[in-house]
Chain A
Amino acid sequence: MTAQRTPPSASHGVRPRPGDPTITPALVAEHGLTMDEYGRLERMLERTPTFTELGIISALWSEHCSYKHSRPVLKTLPTQAPWVLQGPGENAGVISIGDGLAIAFKIESHNHPSAVEPYQGAATGVGGILRDVFTMGARPIAMLNSLRFGSLETPRVRYLVAGVVKGIGDYGNCVGIPTVAGDVMFDPAYEGNPLVNAMCVGLLREEELIRAKAEGVGNSIIAVGARTGRDGIHGASFASEDLSEENEAKRPRVQVGDPFTEKLLLEASLELIRSGHIVAIQDMGAAGLTSSSAEMAERGDVGVTIDTTKVPVRETGMTPYEILLSESQERMLVVATRGHEAEVQAILAKWDLVAEVIGEVIAEPVYRVTEGDRIVAEFPGTRLVTDCPQYHPEARESEEAIARRTRDVAAIAPKGEEADPAWTLERLLQSPTIASKHWIHRQYDSTVRTGTVSGPGAGDAAVIRIRGTTKAIAVKTDCNGRYVYLDPRVGGRIAVAEAARNVACTGATPRAITNCLNFGNPKKPEVFFQFREAVYGMGDACRALETPVTGGNVSLYNENPQGAVYPTPTIGMVGVLDDAAHATRMTFTTPGDAIVLLGENTDELGGSEYLSWVHGVVAGAPPHCDLDRERALIGTILEAIRAGQVRSAHDCSEGGLAVAIAESCMGDRARPTGARLDLTAWGALPLRALLFGEAQGRIVVSTAHAEAVLAIAQRHGVPARVIGQVTAADQGLTIAAAQGRCTSTIDRLATAYHEAIPRAMARAAAETVTETAGGTR
């Protein structure tokens, strides 16, 4: 404690609440504030804070709200383009897609809550990101999810997978938003600390865009939606700590989601925004009422006053501290034009929801909380959130990462079985990271809203048509954390490049990204190094591909007792197709079509799924990522698709060329084809690098007009070659290479690919009953 402190009652009329704990160093530490930070708080107030004030600041200065470790690095990301209507800083980013229409989108993590309670943790993650999008005035039209788990061989992981998937499905299905795409990877690095990132995409008319900016002195602040209970108090600070055993005891009470209320809130909010009675609206997300009110005040540069006795509560005897920090779900904060409160309440009542005036926008530049007549918290100024400490942590690459990256992986001897490359291919297709995610997404309603042109598993990205136009958007999440771990800068680039390539393979021009930066403890130099370099890498790619960053989320302290998870900057990419009829899928359709490879095969095995899954080795330099070439490749595929010359397009990612070809043959199990490939042109490459290496910048295309595709590629300066032909399924898959041959039946490949995850999860069904008492779904 600093020396010259004035008792709170001496100034400002702020008095400690009877019954509240007194501030001690231990209490400060429990709130996750350092003594330096506490000193800053005292200087800001010019007195000792009250317990309520300590709680408020502990939430606002948590990483989750303040970005105190990450902001300077994030500032380096490109955020502008002519089509960007709203960049970072709002509930969600917004881009124009022409015709007066815009897309709002954002991704967010719910990693820690999902580790503790997978079903509710994932469900409430979906709820939160939905609110971020519809509070921009956008109607949600699609959901995505990006998941990382430990090895599917362990029962706990299977339990997590079952619960997370059911939680995501139940919530989105009930609200009626199709879940259309995502990505899932399994690696022991995520054991104990799964990543659950949810993305929402919404559609709005440009003029309906609304921002979460409190304005207009005298306007009313209204709490809307569900009542406030004692759920998840201090979730924001909790999300900013390691998930270690000591913290287990601090576990906040889990938040329970109510998608039914969310659906009502969605309809009511959109009606409210269109009514013209409100000037701002924001989700009460992490740190609930505290962060939503402080952020809205800061954006509008106005003061606010809130009376906690006016907040509709679910439980009796709640203190201001609890009401301010509760993370009860399905709540919103609205600023209504003075005199229009009754209209706001009427709209909410139509949807059977409550709306109570709890405060006011004031001219005086303060953030004030009262409990009836008693002032329980008061901060000077309007910059509570950004007036936080900023850190520039030390960054140093870990010796282990360097050692792994520089290991000569070519020296790893093939296993005996690999003499038959078909063995290796089938084995890779069974890797849960590569295998079909059908077991997951068949639990997601992907067709509600009748807009899904290409749903989960059908193409490299999902395609959603935009009604009333010929347009469609394509969306996808991606990130290979293993690459980022081995080389953060390259890995960051690849995450963006792969997401862009996936979107382009459907025929959409990549337009912008949102991102969710899942990293470990930033106070560790090796983690901060990963963070900084990965963000730089993302920035490189976003600039090169003209896909600016419109928002995102930082999730730090993703650690388990073994250390940090792989650095995982998940990218959520949005692209636009001018003509939905061009939407292209990944599977071969027509025997006789030529198979063209766009891009070049290389001798790069580093960081591959092959090394990890077949040899248990995570090492080597991840593949090169030449952004100019990626850009040219995207130009090529888009031109070829728009010219009507492409029957299918699928990028090469985990598992390399052989896996991409196999997926194109039997990804659609109901309509399989075969293929005959000749790769003898790459006689100099080791067979396993040719088949399973993960060289970037490659797309497998099937076409009836190979010459036309080759000509387009040549114009863009992209290497391209006919490598084979689509055949009937009963012809199987044959790949001839200079150093060997790979032949298999489509049935064997399909069994390996489609049944790996269902088989593993059948074990989960016999281990866990992920039913919750409340759930009837």
Chain B
Amino acid sequence: MKVGVVTFPGSNCDEDALLAIREHVHLEAVPLWHKDHDLQGVDVVILPGGFSYGDYLRAGAIARFAPIMQEIAAHAKRGGPVIGICNGFQIACEAGLLPGGLLRNDHLQFRSMPVTLRVESTATVFTREASAGALLTMPIAHGDGRYSADAATLDRLEGEGQVVFRYVDATGHPTSAANPNGSLRNIAGVSNASGTVVGLMPHPERALDPLLGSTDGLVLFRSLLALTKA
């Protein structure tokens, strides 16, 4: 299996994502260039974190028009797995690959800190190895992470099991104190209806090595291995 990581101008977690796949799940990983129309035959696409186009106008707004995004949309439509991390999540929402949008944090500041997530759905390509209700610790680092959608959409997402991660406290409760950015219903990550496209604000690729304090991000990438076996 082959994983592609897109580099947009301003991406800055692309290298981290490539290393995550190569060093921690031992799969082939290739960089994908935003100006290309070539997915190089990858099975999975990672939209990495960073500040594509400087986050000017709106985070992710300009990146979604990059040539490679046409191919990624087609790949997603075919049922190909895509994960958007942080800025990648913002891009995926802007591109309509995922519902909702990410607005400025409610406190108007950038936030860099570890958060606790509760796994809400294991029915996605990226969480099938996780157990429902499991608590995962990983860092966030963003200024525009307030997940928003209208109430009807939110209800639908909850109903269809498309809420994948929620910000919770150490005991697993989605309190407002545990919500680092004002996301509606403490939503940290969502998926498309089929569970093949997932977006989340926290950084699983920064939680893979005991030396860095947490290995809880591994489960997302390990879930991909099931694809190889299938």
Contacts and interface: CB of A to CB of B under 8 A. Distances in A.
B110 A260 contact: no
A465 B209 CA distance: 12
B112 A444 contact: yes
A443 interface: yes
B206 A170 contact: no
Interface string A249-290: 000000000111101100000000000000000000000000
Contacts of B139: 447
A446 B15 contact: no
B12 A443 contact: no
B110 to A, nearest CB: 5
A314 interface: no
Given A174-B10, A176-B12, A581-B211, A776 B112 contact: no
B13 to A, nearest CB: 6
Contact of A448 (B55, B111, B141): B141
B96 interface: no
Interface stretch (B46-54, B126-134, B159-167): B46-54
B19 interface: yes
A450 B54 contact: no
Contact of B211 (A175, A264, A453): A453
Contact of A259 (B54, B111, B203, B209): B54
A449 interface: yes
Contacts of A261: 54
Most buried by A among B57, B206, B208: B206
Nearest to A458: B213
Interface in A438-452: 441-450, 452
Contacts of A450: 16, 19-20, 205-206, 208-209, 212
Contacts of A442: 109, 111-113
Contacts of A453: 211-212
B163 to A, nearest CB: 25
Contact of B51 (A174, A352, A581): A174
B9 A351 contact: yes
Contacts of A87: none
A777 B142 CA distance: 9
A174 B16 contact: no
A602 interface: no
Interface in A664-709: 670
B141 A445 contact: yes
A228 to B, nearest CB: 20
B58 interface: yes
Contact of B13 (A352, A446, A448, A777): A448
B15 A170 contact: no
Given A174-B10, A450-B206, A450-B212, A263 B111 contact: no
A452 B212 contact: yes
A465 B9 CA distance: 26
Contacts of B209: 450
B206 to A, nearest CB: 5
A258 B203 CA distance: 25
Interface in B9-33: 9-10, 12-13, 15-16, 19-20
A173 interface: yes
A176 B13 CA distance: 7
Nearest to A776: B55
A260 B112 contact: no
A442 B16 CA distance: 21
Given A169-B110, A442-B111, A580-B211, A449 B16 contact: yes
Interface in A550-581: 580-581
A260 B211 contact: no
B55 to A, nearest CB: 6
B54 A260 contact: yes
B187 interface: no
A447 B203 contact: yes
Contacts of B212: 447, 450, 452-453
Nearest to B138: A447
Nearest to A770: B108
A670 B178 CA distance: 13
A443 B104 CA distance: 14
A450 B10 CA distance: 17
Nearest to B52: A260
B59 A776 contact: yes
B205 A448 contact: no
Nearest to A451: B212
A776 B58 contact: yes
Contacts of B143: 170, 173, 777
A345 B9 CA distance: 17
Contacts of B144: 776-777
Nearest to A446: B112
Given A258-B54, A777-B143, A465 B113 contact: no
B117 to A, nearest CB: 15
Interface in B121-174: 139, 141, 143-144, 170
B211 A173 contact: no
Most buried by B among A260, A452, A771: A260
Contact of B12 (A351, A448, A452, A776): A448
A352 B35 CA distance: 11
B211 A465 contact: yes
A569 B170 CA distance: 43
A148 B12 CA distance: 30
Contacts of B170: 670
A174 B54 contact: yes
Nearest to B203: A447
B16 A448 contact: yes
A263 B10 contact: yes
A580 B211 CA distance: 8
Interface in A513-560: none
A260 B10 contact: yes
Interface string A410-453: 00000000000000000000000000000001111111111011
A447 B112 contact: yes
A691 B111 CA distance: 35
B110 A447 contact: no
A169 B51 CA distance: 13
B116 to A, nearest CB: 10
A583 B20 CA distance: 22
Most buried by A among B58, B59, B110, B170: B110
A447 B56 contact: no
A777 B112 contact: no
B168 to A, nearest CB: 14
Contacts of B211: 453, 465, 580-581, 583
B177 to A, nearest CB: 13
Interface string B96-111: 0000000010001111
Most buried by B among A258, A452, A580: A452
Interface in B43-93: 49-51, 53-59
Interface string A748-777: 000000000000000000000001000011
A444 B113 CA distance: 9
Contacts of B10: 174, 260, 263-264
Sorted from nearest, which 10 A-B pairs have the closest CB atoms? A176-B12, A260-B54, A445-B141, A174-B51, A447-B139, A443-B110, A445-B112, A450-B16, A777-B143, A447-B206
14 contacts: A170-B110, A173-B141, A174-B55, A176-B51, A258-B54, A264-B10, A441-B112, A443-B110, A443-B111, A444-B110, A447-B112, A447-B206, A448-B141, A771-B108
Given A441-B112, A450-B19, 13 more contacts: A166-B110, A169-B110, A170-B143, A174-B51, A351-B9, A443-B110, A443-B112, A448-B49, A449-B15, A450-B208, A776-B57, A776-B58, A777-B110
